[in-house]
Amino acid sequence: MPSLIKFLVVLLVLGIVTFAGMYYLANYVEPKPREITIRVPSDRFREQ
C-alpha cells in the first residue's frame, strides 16, 4: 500500500509541475511575431 501512495503522490506532483509550466508559458511568454514566406512550386498551379 505505501508504494501505491508514493506512486500516486509522484503522479500528482508531476501533474502539478506540468500544469504550472503550461500556465506559465500561456500567460507570461510572448511569442515574437515574424514574417513567414513559403515557396510554392510552379508545377502545382499547372495541375488544375
Name the grid cell of 37.
514566406
The pLDDT of residue 37 is 92
pLDDT tens per residue, range 4-31: 999 999 999 999 999 999 999 999 999 8
Would you say residue 47 has pLDDT above 70?
A: no
Q: Quick one: pLDDT band at residue 39, thresholds 50, 70, 90?
A: confident
Predicted TM-score (pTM) of this structure: 0.60
Name the grid cell of 10.
509522484
The domain of 12 spans 2-46
Number of structural domains in the chain: 1
Name the grid cell of 3.
508504494
- Comparing 45 with 32, the larger pLDDT belongs to 32
The pLDDT of residue 22 is 97
